[in-house]
Structures are given as C-alpha cells and as structure tokens.
Amino acid sequence: MKDWLVEIRREIHMQPELGFEEVETSRLVSKWLERFGFQVKKEWAKTGVVGLLQGREPGKTVAIRADMDALPLEEANQVPYASKVKGKMHACGHDAHVAILLGVAKFFWSMKDQVKGNIKWIFQPAEEGGGGGRIMVDEGILENPNVDAIFGAHVFPFLPVGKVGVYEREGLAATDRFTIKMIGKGGHAASPHVSKDPILAAGHLVTQIHSIVSRNINPLENAVITVGKVSGGTAFNIIPDEVELLGTVRSLNPRVREELKSRIEQVTQGVAVSFGMNYRLDFEYGYPVLVNDSEMTRLIISACSKGIGKENVEVLKPSMGGEDFAYYLQKVPGSFFRLGCRNEEKGIIHPYHSSLFDIDEEVLPFGVEMFVRIIDQYLGLNIA
C-alpha cells in the first residue's frame, strides 16, 4: 500500500489548506470513502467528513480520527512535493494523518466481510487552534452509532520511524491564553511624574507573572506561563497610554489550571493598583487537558507490541503542547498516541511547525498497520 499512501500524502502536502478551509482535502477524503462503499457524511464543522463501515455482525463501535489542516507558514524544503501554495504548509504532519486513516479504510474495505461491529473514520478540520474537534463533538459525531472507544495518532519527530509512543493518562496540556492591557496615562518622557507609565508597570507584571509557577504551584505539578508578546509605545521620548501583553498558560491538571488563572488575576490587579493605573484582563480557556483512558493505552501497547515488539513501544512523558483530541476523550474512553517519523540518515530531524518539517514516509504504512492492529484487537477480529 506504500506507493498509494505516499501519493495521497503528497497530493495533500502540495495543496495545504488552513483550518475550516479544507475543501479540497475533504473532497479527496470523501472520494475515497465513497469508493470504498462506506456511509459518508460531509460538512461536519464546515469541512469535516465521517465515514462508517458497518460490519456483517453487530459489535462495538470504534472510531479513529485524523486532522486535516495546515499552517500559515512558507515551506523551506526543496522537495518535488513541496507546498504549491504560498504561505501555507503542512508543517505538523496532518497530511500524513489523513493518508494513514485512508490507508486503514482501504485495508478494512478489502476485509469487509471479517468486520464485526462498526468502524468510524473521523476527518476533522482546524486542529491548530480552531477547535474543529470540539465542534464535531458538539454536532454529535460520537453518536449514531454511539462510539465505544476512540483512537487518534500524531506523527512524532522526536522518535525514529518504526516506534510508537504512548501516554498512560495525561498526554497534552490545557492551553489557555491571556491578554492584559495596562492602562496608564501618556505624556512627555521627561516628565514621568505627571503621567502613569504603563511600560514600567508591564515590566513589573512580567516578572511577577513568572513568579507564579515557581512560587505558587506545587513543584511536583506541571505548569508553564509564557508571555509571548509585549506591545506598547511609539518613540523614545513618549510615555505611551497603554501596553498590551499576550501569553499562554499550560497545565495538566484542572486544579492547577484554575490556580494559575486566579493568580494571574491577582497579580495583575496588584501591579495595576501599585502603579495607580487601570487594567483589562481577558483570560480565554483553550483546549482542555488530554487525558487517555489507561485501559485503552494498555490496549495500544499490547496491540502494537504484537507487530513491532515491546521494545519499540515507549511510554512517554506528557507534553505541554495541546490537542483538540482532548474533547473526544472527555466523552468516550480512548487513547492518543505517537508515531515516530524521524530519520536522521535522511536528514528528517526538524521539529513541528518548522519550515523544514518533513516526515519519513515509511511512517505511512507503519501508521496504517498500528491502527489496524489496534482496531483488530479492540473489536476482537483476529485478522492482524
């Protein structure tokens, strides 16, 4: 199946589409699912597609999910299949996820008669911040038939191709963000006493925010706050009216998540009061913590080990990145895992979201095999 998978992956790679704009990608997906004779439903969360294979005999329903969106980034790779769209690139490997799931569909299409229960394929838009997964869950993607378990995978440039990585429970972080405006009073730089300098206040605020993780959170918990953008001011001799700070807040535990939020509120208020100025704080909840079901993780370990040996399945530490697969896992048990796509010999070593990101395409048939083994074991088909 490898050539077919590579062709599909490259076709998608050359025509990257951003979140909620995956029109061509979703057309390609539906075309294949329809050709396999599956029940296909389109236009979930705008561009999402779902395929359903109903087995000959009744049984459980298992779902697998791929994301389809690319990133606003100019590809720097000099390869024949490089992005043909200026400023857009599949730099997170979602092109591979789509190809892999289609490969799983092709496999079960050829084995239709041996399927007991149902297999549902979920192709979602907008994982990169748009929360396409949340919308599809709200639209009822896990119903009709009700999904008993769900699995999702992401290619992983930190593991060599041929290896699988799993998270026992927490896999990825809750990813919240804040926007803070320190509102002072502008004036001449030479007369600070008649103005209120929001730049100085913002400087204090940045250092105070950075004391939250180190002084308020249990050192055995996980948390990150990064102030990623500070903007304010126009010239060397002007005190501006206001300064804006943007940042991200990440945690693996709902209690810590709330604590971070409330400490940011207190610290911002405190700094504003101490400098005699106003402020505005907007705290926006992002993706929740991704929590795997331990039993489903054990199933992945056992199913994949059968094919590649225990030594090639690694239990990973959680990452502070985010994933909207978390929304599916809030509703049904399942597990999110990693497929190694690194190959140092081929120079495939760049991290996600880099303009040089690429995958070793061996991960395509490998990923298909891992999903097939997982589904086989979950539905008890005994074909793998």
How big, in percent rounded to 5, are the helix, strand and coil portions of the chain?
Answer: 35, 30, 35
Q: Is 364 one of the binding residues for Zn ion (CB under 5 A)? A: no
Which among 17, 21, 67, 69 is annotated as catalytic? 69
| Of 17, 95, 127, 241, catalytic | 127
Nearer to Zn ion, 9 or 196 (CB): 9
69 is an active site residue: yes
Residue 115 as a binder of Zn ion (CB under 5 A): the answer is no
Q: Does 142 bind Zn ion (CB under 5 A)?
A: no
| Residues of span 220-249 touching Zn ion by CB under 5 A | none
Any contact of residue 155 with Zn ion (CB under 5 A)? Answer: no
Q: What is the dihedral of CA 265, 245, 92, 105, to 10 degrees?
A: 40
The residue whose Cβ lies closest to Zn ion is 92
Nearer to Zn ion, 287 or 366 (CB): 287
* Type of residue numbered 53: L
Minimum Å gap between C-beta 37 and Zn ion is 30
**Interaction of residue 92 with Zn ion, rule CB under 5 A:** yes
Report the b/e string of 87-125 with b at 16+ CB within 10 A: ebbbbbbbbbbbbbbbbbbbbbbeeeeebebbbbbbbbb
Contact between 100 and Zn ion per CB under 5 A:
no
| Contact predicate 159/315, CB 8 Å | no
293 in active site: no
State in angstroms the smallest separation of the CB of 285 from Zn ion. 19
105 part of the interface to Zn ion, by CB under 5 A: no
Beta strands 57-67; 149-160: pairing state = parallel
Cα 11 to Cα 2: distance, rounded to the nearest angstrom? 14
Question: Considering the complex, what minimum distance in angstroms separates the CB of residue 124 from Zn ion?
Answer: 11
Report how many residues bind Zn ion under the rule CB under 5 A.
Answer: 1
Amino acid letter for position 85: V
Residue with tokens 């074991």: 377
Q: Which residue, 117 or 130, is less far from Zn ion as judged by CB?
A: 130
Structure token digits, residue 356: 């040089």
> Taking a C-beta distance cutoff of 8 angstroms, is the pair 63, 140 a contact?
no
Residue 173 is inside which H or E element, if any?
Answer: none
Least CB distance to Zn ion at residue 127 (A): 6
Q: Which is nearer to Zn ion, 92 or 159 (CB)?
A: 92
CB of 103 to Zn ion, least distance (A): 18
Tell how far CA 272 is from the center of its chain. Answer: 35
Per CB under 5 A, does 73 bind Zn ion? no
Q: Is there a cis peptide before residue 145, judged by omega within 30 degrees of 0?
A: yes
Q: Quick check: 363 binds Zn ion (CB under 5 A)? A: no
Q: Is 126 in the site for Zn ion (CB under 5 A)?
A: no
Query: What residues act catalytically?
Result: 69, 127
Contact set with Zn ion (CB under 5 A) = 92
